[in-house]
Structure 1
Amino acid sequence: MGLVLGGRRILRDVDLRIEPGQITTLIGPNGAGKTSLLRVLLGLVPPTEGVVHRRRGLRIGYMPQRIAVDEILPITVRRFLSLGRRVPRERLQAALREVGVGWLLDQPVQSVSGGEMQRILLARALLREPHLLVLDEPAQGVDVSGQGEVFQLIASLRDRYGCGVLMVSHELHLVMAAADSVVCLNRHVCCTGHPEAVSRDPAYRRLFGDSMPPGVAFYPHHHDHHHDLRGNVIPESAPEGAPVHGDGNDD
């Protein structure tokens, strides 16, 4: 599958399969095309090359990276979860409990924290009873320990619903330990593999000692480039001090 927008090559030769009950983590440097790939998979943008096959009757629960709610809009969490649908209060309450924020149902959306809002968005995705759960950076803005908690929650939801999970992560090396596969994207699929336990990596042992965050694992890359600290690509052939690729316009 490929994508060209405005004469610019965004994606090429992307071959990705997501099986029921499996967790796939999508990582990549800034400007790699991760968001564009999600839009294609969700049917929001048609591919310019190849096709996307979806199972008949497939229900997708989508959790966006972030959402902005106007500060002057008087809306509760219950009303936010019900936008565009009629859902019994008991079901809304159960969905919030399932993601660990059951007490927020009647709270104003503007009063919740960033981490709580992430869980509310996850609860909204679960209300579709999805066959496929698509999560755009669900652990954004939390520390490593917090990431581990989010990853463990996602793994338990996968087990409960039996759904496939496609999760985009902003991290290039720390990934979800329960992931069945990791796909590194840089406009094409650079490499794929499985996460390794963080405890096996000396750098993270020095950082966390023997108290490794549960749910987190390390992904070793195997491709033809390196990343700088901001996630941009440094080609093997680039001379010292050369500019890096990745403009951050499409992550």
Structure 2
Amino acid sequence: MSLISLTDLSVKFGGSTVLSRINLVINKGEIVTIVGPNGSGKSTLLRNVIGALQPTTGFVERAPGLRIGYVPQKLHIDPTLPLTVRRFLSLPKRVSNTRALHALEKAGVSALEQRQMSALSGGQFQRVLLARALLNDPQLLILDEATQGLDQPGSARFYQHIEAVRQDLGCAVLMVSHELHVVMAASDRVICLNGHICCEGAPEHVATAPEYRALFGTGTQGALALYRHEHNHSHDDSVSDHNCAPDETAT
């Protein structure tokens, strides 16, 4: 079942092409990771998926009534503001104690309900943001550099938890990250973006694609082998390759 479908999507800012002819489908229950260098258009793509930005040309189709949960790259909260985790989950719209506790449990941080947001560690803060994204039992969970600032073991634990959330809720997950070996190990499908889709497919195939290695080097393939986990379902072994010249205009 298709949750999101992008057809020939292009985005221009001030005459510069940021994304060019993107065709992408997100299906129910799959984990899709978007990787790409700085300025490749990853955040712009997410904004189109969410609906915060409209494409210059092309189309975005969403399943009727699609519930989306979003974990941002970062969120600044004034450290002098007295704000508990429970109160944070009720901003800007109040949620019941039952829903709040359920979301915190799903995120693995139910013990933090009365903790001050300013007192949380980086990993705890990201788990609370995840809980906020899970309040409405999303069908599609979107994470934009959600582990930025965490160390490698912390990132690995976070993405392992995302896999558990996916299995529990049956939701699809769309992730953007620079942590190539960790997120690719957690993914069903990887999309390499540099203003356009350079290559896509199962992680082990993208890691050996010339277009991917031209952008990220050869070292990530070995790292992927160390972190890859076995899935209990099959993948499409094909990799779709496109010309991947550097795109200086992408932001």
TM-score (norm 2): 0.79
Structure 2, unaligned stretches of length 5 or more?
Answer: 1-8, 206-217, 231-238
Does the alignment pair 1:134 with 2:142? yes
The correspondence for 1:39, drawn from 47, 52, 76, is 47
Does the alignment pair 1:154 with 2:167? no
Deviates more, 1:48-57 or 1:187-196: 187-196
- Is the contact made by 1:145 and 1:213 (CA closer than 8 Å) also made in structure 2? no
Does the alignment pair 1:95 with 2:103? yes
The correspondence for 2:89, drawn from 62, 81, 95, is 81
The correspondence for 2:59, drawn from 39, 45, 51, is 51
Amino acid in the other structure paired with 2:56 = T
CA distance in 1, matches of 2:220, 2:196: 29
2:172 maps to 164
- Is the contact made by 2:189 and 2:203 (CA closer than 8 Å) also made in structure 1? yes
Structure 1, unaligned stretches of length 5 or more?
Answer: 226-232, 236-244
Give how far 1:128 is off.
Answer: 1.5
SS for the counterpart of 1:103 is helix
Q: RMSD across aligned C-alpha pairs, in angstroms?
A: 3.0
CA distance in 2, matches of 1:92, 1:113: 20
Give the number of aligned pairs. 225
2:214 maps to none
Summarize the Cα distance change of 1:11–1:203 in structure 2 as closer, same or farther, 3 Å threshold.
Answer: closer
Does the alignment pair 1:60 with 2:68? yes
Give how far 1:92 is off.
Answer: 1.4
| Greater percentage in helix | 2
SS for the counterpart of 1:196 is helix
| Greater percentage in strand | 2
1:11 maps to 19
SS for the counterpart of 1:192 is strand
CA distance in 2, matches of 1:188, 1:176: 19
Structure 1 ranges of 4+ moved more than 4 A: 202-208, 212-216, 220-225
SS for the counterpart of 2:79 is coil
SS for the counterpart of 1:69 is coil
- Is the contact made by 2:182 and 2:227 (CA closer than 8 Å) also made in structure 1? no
CA distance in 2, matches of 1:18, 1:185: 15
CA distance in 2, matches of 1:130, 1:206: 34
CA distance in 2, matches of 1:105, 1:59: 24
TM-score (norm 1): 0.79
Structure of greater Rg: 1
Does the alignment pair 1:182 with 2:163? no
CA distance in 1, matches of 2:148, 2:240: 21
1:241 maps to none
- Is the contact made by 1:23 and 1:166 (CA closer than 8 Å) also made in structure 2? yes
Give percent identity, aligned residues only: 46
CA distance in 2, matches of 1:158, 1:137: 18
CA distance in 1, matches of 2:16, 2:43: 15
Query: What per-residue deviation string (whole Å, max 9, x for no partner) do you get for residues 160-217 of structure 1?
Result: 11111101112345434241110011010011021239xxxx9679889x9x45759x
Map 1:92-241 → 2, pairs under 5 A: 92-196=100-204, 212-213=226-227
